[in-house]
Structure 1
Amino acid sequence: MLMAMLRGKFSKTGDMKYISHLDLVRLFHRVLRRAGINIAYTQGFNPHPIISFATALSLGVESYGEYFDLKLNEEMSFTEFQQSVNQHMPRGIKILDGKYIDSKEDSLMSMVEYSDYLIAVEFIDENWDRELFEQWVAGFLEEERIMITRKKKKKRRQRHQEYKEVDVRPLIKELTLESVRGEKWSLYTLLTTGSKGNLKPEDLIKLFEKYLKNQEQNREKENPIEITSVEITRKDLYQEVNGAMKNLIDAV
């Protein structure tokens, strides 16, 4: 039987941003069966669909750039696959794009090098001067080192968790102020992701807020710099190909 490997791109929005990665995998298994897709299964006592996903998304984060590789027993048109699967998907999960790839292509996990996000942040004091805020963003990026505390891998028989300080400044490729909409300030960021290093947007915002608090001495307003809410949307996942950022479908 001639098998085919399909790479797909999907969105995860609305209430679906609160389901775990494990629940997402189970959801795909269930929907693929209901849609009647002729998927390939592993061998052995407990066979399961041959499907893999790119880097997991944090709970509460929306995305328009999630990916999966799915092995089929026979090739079908992507349009037919997309329509059949989307018909059974719950609101918030939608297949957006896809194509067939060589089964020898690198895995999704090994391909991911960067991810970009839109981050809407709301502050206690929303009446900032835009120019001042842009100066703060620029100042944050001018820091030679931006340190974060991370857990060390526990050694065998080690009783106590150890921590280390890591400089994540090289992992922040871009950070810009995109827009101001009412009380929310929208930031765009491009971050290193995957085996070469990883910085979550949630951690980036905590580090940026810490930097902003250090700027309070330069302000005359009484309200402190304090973030009251954060909404994060992942735009896409990328691999660098010949100096250009390509999403995980265009990269192959």
Structure 2
Amino acid sequence: AGYHPHPKISFATATSVGMESRQEYLDVTALAYPQNLSVLKGEINAALPDGMAITDFQALSFAARDLAQTLRGFVYELILPADTNEEKLGVILQSIENFLAAESFPITRSSKGKTVTRDIRPFVEALSLNIKEKTVTLTVRHAQTGSVRPVDILRHVLSFSEEETQRIGVVKMKTMLA
């Protein structure tokens, strides 16, 4: 029994299962914290599993906007299989050029028994291929109307099959805030 205060923690967006992330932001609501925030940072990091660390944080007033309201977009790295050949890389490059030149790019998806068509072009800020590294860098915008998932780019823009997408690593490299 008794009162045991716990901080309220929320993430602006959830990272999908099977996706790595190099950078996450979270809101933590606490009634009290030490004046020296580096002490708190050290205590939290000591309790986190290996490979995970708080790199920076700051105290905000209760009136501050939460992260979900300041979210602007994401940068992803799509890691192609090592056996991706030059011919396939050429097809990917051409697909990227065609997509970026298009004013719109409607896709159709089935979700919860409904078929939905939406234009994904406005959500893609940048898309590029690093042939040497066999990676695709994708920068997506996040808006009130939604965003685009990396798997949608892989399937609909770059024409990978569902099976092929399982072999492609997706890493969220950066979360962009307003």
Query: TM-score, normalised to structure 2's length?
Result: 0.81
**Equivalent residue, structure 1, for 2:59:** 100
Contact 1:110 1:195 in 2 (8 A): no
Q: Kindly tell me the number of residue pairs found equivalent between the two proteins.
A: 172
Once residues 59 and 92 of structure 1 are traced to their aligned partners in structure 2, the CA distance between those partners, rounded to angstroms, is: 18
SS of the aligned residue for 1:113 comes to: strand
Of structures 1 and 2, the one with the larger relative CO (CA 8 A, separation 6+) is 2
Structure 2, unpaired ranges of 5+: none
SS of the aligned residue for 1:235 comes to: strand
Deviation at 1:120, TM superposition (A): 0.7
User: Between Structure 1 and Structure 2, which shows a larger proportion of strand residues?
Assistant: 1
2:171 maps to amino acid: T
Given candidates 105, 108, 124, the residue that maps to 1:172 is 124
Is 1:233 aligned with 2:161?
no
Is 1:85 aligned with 2:40?
no
Once residues 202 and 125 of structure 1 are traced to their aligned partners in structure 2, the CA distance between those partners, rounded to angstroms, is: 18
Deviation at 1:146, TM superposition (A): 1.9
Cα RMSD of the aligned pairs, angstroms, is 2.8
> What pairs with 1:121-200 in structure 2 (closer than 5 Å)?
121-122=80-81, 125-128=84-87, 133-150=92-109, 161-181=113-133, 185-200=134-149
How many percent identity over aligned positions? 23
Once residues 81 and 188 of structure 1 are traced to their aligned partners in structure 2, the CA distance between those partners, rounded to angstroms, is: 35
Pick which of 103-112 and 130-139 moved more.
130-139
SS of the aligned residue for 1:229 comes to: coil
Structure 1 residue runs of 4+, over 6 Å off?
A: 129-132
1:71 maps to amino acid: T
Contact 2:7 2:30 in 1 (8 A): no
For 1:193-221, what per-residue CA distance to the aligned partner results, in whole angstroms no more than 9, with x for missing partners? 252421111221111232x79xxxxxxxx
Q: Which structure has the greater CA radius of gyration?
A: 1
Query: TM-score, normalised to structure 1's length?
Result: 0.59
SS of the aligned residue for 1:51 comes to: strand
Deviation at 1:172, TM superposition (A): 0.8
